[in-house]
Structure 1
């Protein structure tokens, strides 16, 4: 485990904020029954979170990993897919114990869609998307270079936006969410952005904070406007559109510009992955078993705090593997 002294507290704080955003958007998606307009705004303004997690994943990639795409994709898969399998299995098992359907069809297509989208554990789509996106970006960089990779990633992002947020106004109908929210259209541009920001971190240190904040506010307003005028006036926020890229980048650059020092951020930052994995289960308990589903703000606060608290406790209490000294 990386020591707190060697970690960047500002980036760990960004991880914590992004976790809060993910919990918030999942509550907003099914909550705020008494105030749908507020739920829509809260949902929309939380949509920086998943892009930032993609960005942060690539920010720490090494050039040696990028030179070996299969090795990088394998490393990412070994890190995240066992957790994907465990949480997915728990989610399906709980559905079956409650007498519900498993949430996917027992067919080749159904199983493929399960691995692609997370099925009943729908928040897990990020993990296979991360693996696929990592393979795509590393392969493109190896054979075309970073500039062409960025250009291709932007084209893919544009295609995803067209069949996602802009499908109804342009094509007259929508598509299933898994067609555009995945590792092919969604992930690459944010992964490339993480690499670019890492390589230009010295230049970022000179950017004025007020200008970054102004950019953040502008792109947040544009993202919200796209959700209202283009995607539709409905309770659920949209995953991403053209302004989302600038919105997520502005949030990430702001935290990279800040100089937070408190070690508490490192403790919390290291627990965000575990909290992300379990937060939907926590929200289901709060809404279903405890009957708090109509108290959306309370759900957000408790869901975030309990998920992160459980993850911190798990990291603190799990057995440490100690290697015995090797005798000469």
Structure 2
């Protein structure tokens, strides 16, 4: 099957929605002091976002790269790790200036944990997880094929769910978040889902959109219920659990079936990576420096809009600086 086009307005719209979800769950992570029950609810309902970003990353992988896992992981690393290093350095520098400490332990173990989790820039854990997950999934696909890769990814995902969301009900205590939220347990299932959806998504063509939407609502409700079970009335939602898989997949499938055409979605969609990188810094300025944290919904809207505006500005700068090919250049 031919690879999907480089820009897909419907999937770009999904990127924008997922960015909004990530901003929302990070605002909710502050407790939603003005409405804690609402904070719990919107946090739980936003947990499709990070899985969807993994899925979309793999959706556009090329078969030639999948045949060479090291090349695949290398391409992913070259795309995301410079940004990881830049935002991490900025965050640490700001921590030193504002608080006199870097936000991580300057020991060998502390540095390794910093590179694994992002440390004070904790949202950056997604980027090293994407690289590691790409290597794992690419290797499994090459050596064992799609069926075995899906099976191994599900086993890893369930292991992460036990270590993470279900650790307190099962063991009476929790484990550090970096043990389950990473490229080993979290990333593979959503990456292989992206590959599978690209290869076989056309088989869903006869499935009514209303049915897919009903699946989204059902899995969202299950995710909220599951979150209440594992974290109770605590203000924070949980990263992922059993229902999260169906929730994220049904949201992604829904958007693959939509037929959005507006170029606006693709323009804004391209800015979501930059907006994702910068949004936590924007949130900190708005909440701490400008003292806007008392109204959580306003904080979500301003953080989302400001981060996207910065992302769009960066896209414009990059486009303006990119060398133009002569009109007569051979394609």
Residues 1:190 and 2:163 are matched in the alignment? no
Is the 1:164–1:180 contact (alpha carbons within 8 Å) kept by the matching residues of 2?
yes
Give 1:101 deviation, angstroms: 1.6
Alignment match, 1:260: 260
Rounded Cα–Cα distance in structure 1 between residues aligned with 2:169 and 2:52: 27
Superposition map of 1:156-195 within 5 A: 156-195=156-195
Rounded Cα–Cα distance in structure 1 between residues aligned with 2:71 and 2:232: 42
Is the 1:58–1:195 contact (alpha carbons within 8 Å) kept by the matching residues of 2?
yes
Question: Hey, which bits of structure 1, 4+ residues long, moved more than 6 A?
Answer: 324-327
* Deviates most, 95-104 or 105-114: 95-104
- The unaligned stretches of length 5 or more in structure 1 are none
Alignment match, 2:39: 39
Give 1:259 deviation, angstroms: 0.3
- Per-residue Cα deviation, 1:113-148 (whole angstroms, up to 9, x for no partner): 000000000000000000000000000111111100
Superposition map of 1:122-161 within 5 A: 122-161=122-161
Question: SS of the residue aligned with 1:39?
Answer: helix
Alignment match, 2:213: 213
* Deviates most, 122-131 or 22-31: 22-31
Superposition map of 1:77-116 within 5 A: 77-116=77-116
Alignment match, 2:242: 242
Alignment match, 2:324: 322
Give 1:306 deviation, angstroms: 0.5
CA separation of 1:245 and 1:322: change in aligned 2, threshold 3 A: same
Alignment match, 2:67: 67
Alignment match, 2:48: 48
Alignment match, 2:199: 199
Rounded Cα–Cα distance in structure 1 between residues aligned with 2:141 and 2:88: 32
Alignment match, 2:272: 272
Is the 2:44–2:227 contact (alpha carbons within 8 Å) kept by the matching residues of 1?
yes
Alignment match, 1:57: 57
Is the 2:34–2:295 contact (alpha carbons within 8 Å) kept by the matching residues of 1?
no
Give 1:288 deviation, angstroms: 1.0
Rounded Cα–Cα distance in structure 2 between residues aligned with 1:162 and 1:6: 37
Aligned-pair RMSD on alpha carbons?
1.4
- Per-residue Cα deviation, 1:225-252 (whole angstroms, up to 9, x for no partner): 0110123320001000000000000100
Is the 1:207–1:257 contact (alpha carbons within 8 Å) kept by the matching residues of 2?
no
Q: What is the number of equivalent residue pairs in this alignment?
A: 323
Rounded Cα–Cα distance in structure 2 between residues aligned with 1:117 and 1:230: 23
Is the 2:293–2:299 contact (alpha carbons within 8 Å) kept by the matching residues of 1?
yes
Give 1:99 deviation, angstroms: 2.7
- Per-residue Cα deviation, 1:47-92 (whole angstroms, up to 9, x for no partner): 0000000000000011111110110000000000000000000000
Rounded Cα–Cα distance in structure 2 between residues aligned with 1:157 and 1:326: 48
Question: SS of the residue aligned with 2:99?
Answer: coil
Alignment match, 1:76: 76
Give 1:98 deviation, angstroms: 0.8
Give 1:6 deviation, angstroms: 5.5
Rounded Cα–Cα distance in structure 2 between residues aligned with 1:242 and 1:30: 25
TM-score, with normalisation over the residues of structure 2? 0.95
CA separation of 1:127 and 1:37: change in aligned 2, threshold 3 A: same
Rounded Cα–Cα distance in structure 1 between residues aligned with 2:111 and 2:56: 29
Is the 2:271–2:315 contact (alpha carbons within 8 Å) kept by the matching residues of 1?
yes
Is the 2:34–2:296 contact (alpha carbons within 8 Å) kept by the matching residues of 1?
no
Rounded Cα–Cα distance in structure 2 between residues aligned with 1:70 and 1:317: 31
Is the 1:31–1:294 contact (alpha carbons within 8 Å) kept by the matching residues of 2?
no
